[in-house]
């Protein structure tokens, strides 16, 4: 064996040990193994082509995602089904045993007790050396499932009748499928759900739901390849699925390899062996073909007329659900395009303010960045953050109505000039108040025009006080003042950072909402530096960033105001000053 082969073998053994340790944590049900570490092992196993370890890692990732990370049931099944296929392909009984056990656990949590019992029993039937402890836990799990299933049967059955079998009635299957897909609007999730439900209802090995793209004349679907969903497309004239899409026929093949229409190439590429096959068109309310069901390998025997009838019935609900999901996705895409268009419009308006005066260029963007950081610290929801983001970019749009001679005056403003410049807030309110995009956007005008309000009620233009000022306005007040005093103006240089921070502290509960000031000062210094330098060519070095992120802004202020500093504190001041006072000229 070569040195490289020895290393590969050693690495595989190490990965295997780590994966089994993670599986032990799952068996003990104490805590979740770290999924990031298992994903790392998964990638290593793929690179080594150790498909038994790939299977085990996928089974673990699927289960952990479902059990602890709220991953969706159908996405989890896709991952575990792929892991099951790899376990079989690699002839790894251990990988198969782990996979079956974890699939059984998921079905138990879903309260699908008969399926859970079958899978757990199948795991128990795989006999291996050195798995006695595992087998004992499987037996205990099986007993628990049997007891739970029996109790549910007793609780749900009429007094005179306790069912002996857990055979699901076709009508119940239809109701279950209909209920499940009726509320789903995500097309990718819907394709997965329908495929899984059909696979289970028809007791088949696989099912794919293809949709017809009329414009491109293609059939497409999303399939699970490893841990990712990938889109597959092919010409709608190809293969059995293409034949069904073109003719509208139902094709029920008892031996796929004897049918000339069957394309063997995919089987040859994947190593999968298709035996029986049921292919049927999906129609919408107008009876137009919108897709194709392709169900492979009935687990017991061949696909029957009852299977065809059940698939037709499922297809009626599925066709409507898929068409609705398509419409929903188109609408969603249109809304996203409108949002992008609107964001571009806002950026253009914001840029028009900057174009008025190069000295204040970048002010709106920096205010926006500071405001976004505060919103993140406050854990605000995305809609609120979006409104404040728009307001921060447009808070000075009213300055387009202010004279250039006053905006760009290098000396101190007269009282009359100051009154004139204060009007920019009224103009901002009037301009933004006339733009209607959505109900939420109405708040943009209120927030943008309140950035000069003071917490003590002595601000303008409405003289709002305390919590009368919108939260977004209170956030912008802090960000606007801080950026203004830490930037060069026609009539003065930027303030020393110590003095700028002191203004915020001294203005708490008078000019500013103290809670917002506290949040701002709790930001780490690296975040402040990133905003200060967003429009410069100066890049923050990795070493500088590592030191800056250790200190919060209030830490910097405390260090600046103390007499005796430690060496690292002096270094912090020097590094911050390097970026704060950076001059490209």
Percentages (nearest 5) of helix, strand, coil residues in the chain: 60, 10, 30
At 398, list the tokens: 């009213």
Are 459 and 453 contacting, i.e. CB atoms less than 8 angstroms apart? yes
At 225, list the tokens: 């390849």
At 350, list the tokens: 């914001």
Residue 377, pLDDT score: 96
Nearest-angstrom CA–CA distance, 44 and 16 = 11
What residues have CB less than 8 Å from 337, skipping those under 6 apart?
none
Chain centre to alpha carbon of residue 379: 17
Nearest-angstrom CA–CA distance, 563 and 431 = 50
Nearest-angstrom CA–CA distance, 69 and 62 = 10
Q: Which domains does the chain have, with CATH numbers?
A: 3-156 (1.25.40), 170-329 (3.30.450.40), 336-580 (1.10.3210.10)
Residue 154, pLDDT score: 56
Are 106 and 73 contacting, i.e. CB atoms less than 8 angstroms apart? yes
- Give the Å distances, CA to CA, from 395 to 131, 297, 437, 446, 460: 67, 63, 17, 10, 14
In this prediction the pTM is 0.56
Nearest-angstrom CA–CA distance, 183 and 189 = 11
Rank 36-40, 64-68, 73-77, 98-102 by mean pLDDT and report only the highest.
Answer: 98-102
Q: Dump pLDDT digits (tens) for 15-37.
A: 778 878 878 777 766 566 677 88
At 142, list the tokens: 């099986």
Nearest-angstrom CA–CA distance, 532 and 337 = 31
Q: Dump pLDDT digits (tens) for 302-338.
A: 999 989 988 888 887 888 888 888 788 788 888 888 8
Are 482 and 373 contacting, i.e. CB atoms less than 8 angstroms apart? no
Are 549 and 526 contacting, i.e. CB atoms less than 8 angstroms apart? yes
The distance between the two most distant Cα atoms of the chain, rounded to a whole number of Å, is: 96
Q: Dump pLDDT digits (tens) for 262-283.
A: 877 767 766 778 899 999 999 8
Task: With a cut of 70, say whether residue 253 has pLDDT above it.
Answer: yes
At 194, list the tokens: 């329908």
Q: Please count the other Cβ atoms lying within 10 Å of the Cβ belonging to residue 394.
A: 24
SS3 track for 525-563: HHHHHHHHCCCCCCCCCHHHHHHHCCCEHHHHHHHHCCC
Task: With a cut of 50, say whether residue 167 has pLDDT above it.
Answer: no
Q: Give the single-character DSSP code of 256.
A: G
At 479, list the tokens: 């960000």
Are 243 and 258 contacting, i.e. CB atoms less than 8 angstroms apart? no
The position carrying tokens 């038994």 is 52
Nearest-angstrom CA–CA distance, 437 and 383 = 14
List of E strands, 268-368: 277-283, 289-298
Cis link prior to 501 (omega < 30° from 0)?
Answer: no
Residue 564: exposure state from Cβ atoms within 10 A (0-12, 13-18, ≥19): exposed
Secondary structure of residue 455 in the 3-state scheme: coil
Q: Dump pLDDT digits (tens) for 32-70.
A: 667 788 888 888 888 888 888 888 988 888 888 888 777
Helix (H) / strand (E) element for 518: namely helix 514-521
Q: Dump pLDDT digits (tens) for 355-366.
A: 777 777 889 999
Mean pLDDT calculated for residue range 156-184: 55
Beta strands 204-213; 228-235: pairing state: unpaired
């Amino acid at each position: 064996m070569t040195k490289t082969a020895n290393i590969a073998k050693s690495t595989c053994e190490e990965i295997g040990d780590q994966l089994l340790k993670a599986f032990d944590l799952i068996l003990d049900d104490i805590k979740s193994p770290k999924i990031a570490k298992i994903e790392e092992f998964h990638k290593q196993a793929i690179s080594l082509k150790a498909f038994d370890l790939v299977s085990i890692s996928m089974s673990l990732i699927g289960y952990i995602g479902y059990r602890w990370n709220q991953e969706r049931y159908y996405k989890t099944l896709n991952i575990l089904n792929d892991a099951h296929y790899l376990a079989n392909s690699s002839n790894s009984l251990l990988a198969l045993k782990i996979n079956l056990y974890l699939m059984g656990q998921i079905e138990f949590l879903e309260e699908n007790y008969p399926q859970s019992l079958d899978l757990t029993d199948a795991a128990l039937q795989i006999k291996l050396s050195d798995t006695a402890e595992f087998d004992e836990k499987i037996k205990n799990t099986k007993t628990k499932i049997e007891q739970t299933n029996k109790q549910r049967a007793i609780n749900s059955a009429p007094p005179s009748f306790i069912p002996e079998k857990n055979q699901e009635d076709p009508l119940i299957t239809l109701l279950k499928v209909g209920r499940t897909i009726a509320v789903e609007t995500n097309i990718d999730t819907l394709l997965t759900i329908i495929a899984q439900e059909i696979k289970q209802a028809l007791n088949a090995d696989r099912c794919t739901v293809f949709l017809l793209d009329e414009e491109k004349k293609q059939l497409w679907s999303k399939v699970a390849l490893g841990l990712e969903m990938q889109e597959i497309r092919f010409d709608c004239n190809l293969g059995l699925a293409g034949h069904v899409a073109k003719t509208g026929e139902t094709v029920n093949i008892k031996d796929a390899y004897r049918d000339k229409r069957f394309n063997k190439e995919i089987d040859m590429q994947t190593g999968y062996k298709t035996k029986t096959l049921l292919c049927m068109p999906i129609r919408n309310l107008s009876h137009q073909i919108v897709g194709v069901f392709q169900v492979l390998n009935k687990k017991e025997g061949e696909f029957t007329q009852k299977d065809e009838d059940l698939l037709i019935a499922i297809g009626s609900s599925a066709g409507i659900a898929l068409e609705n999901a398509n419409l929903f996705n188109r609408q969603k895409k249109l809304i996203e395009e409108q949002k992008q268009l609107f964001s571009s419009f806002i950026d253009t308006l914001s840029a028009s303010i900057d174009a008025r005066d190069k000295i204040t260029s970048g002010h709106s963007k920096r205010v926006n960045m500071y405001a976004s950081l505060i919103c993140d610290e406050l854990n605000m929801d995305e809609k609120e953050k979006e409104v404040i983001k728009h307001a921060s970019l447009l808070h000075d749009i009213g300055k387009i109505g202010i004279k250039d001679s006053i905006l760009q005056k290098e000396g101190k403003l007269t009282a009359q000039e100051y009154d004139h410049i204060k009007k920019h807030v009224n103009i901002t309110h009037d301009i933004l108040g006339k733009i209607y995009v959505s109900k939420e956007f109405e708040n943009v005008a209120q927030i943008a025009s309140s950035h000069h309000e003071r917490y003590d009620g002595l601000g303008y233009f409405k003289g709002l006080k305390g919590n009368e000022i919108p939260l977004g306005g209170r956030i912008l007040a802090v960000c606007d003042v801080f950026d203004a005093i830490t930037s060069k103006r026609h009539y003065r240089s930027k303030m020393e950072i110590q003095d700028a921070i002191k203004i915020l502290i001294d203005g708490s509960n008078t000019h500013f909402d103290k809670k917002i000031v506290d949040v701002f000062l709790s930001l780490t210094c690296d975040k402040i530096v990133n905003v200060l330098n967003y429009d410069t060519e100066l890049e923050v070095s990795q070493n500088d960033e590592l030191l800056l992120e250790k200190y919060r802004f209030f830490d910097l202020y405390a260090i600046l105001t103390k007499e005796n500093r430690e060496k690292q504190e002096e270094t912090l001041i020097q590094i911050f000053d390097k970026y704060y006072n950076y001059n490209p000229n």
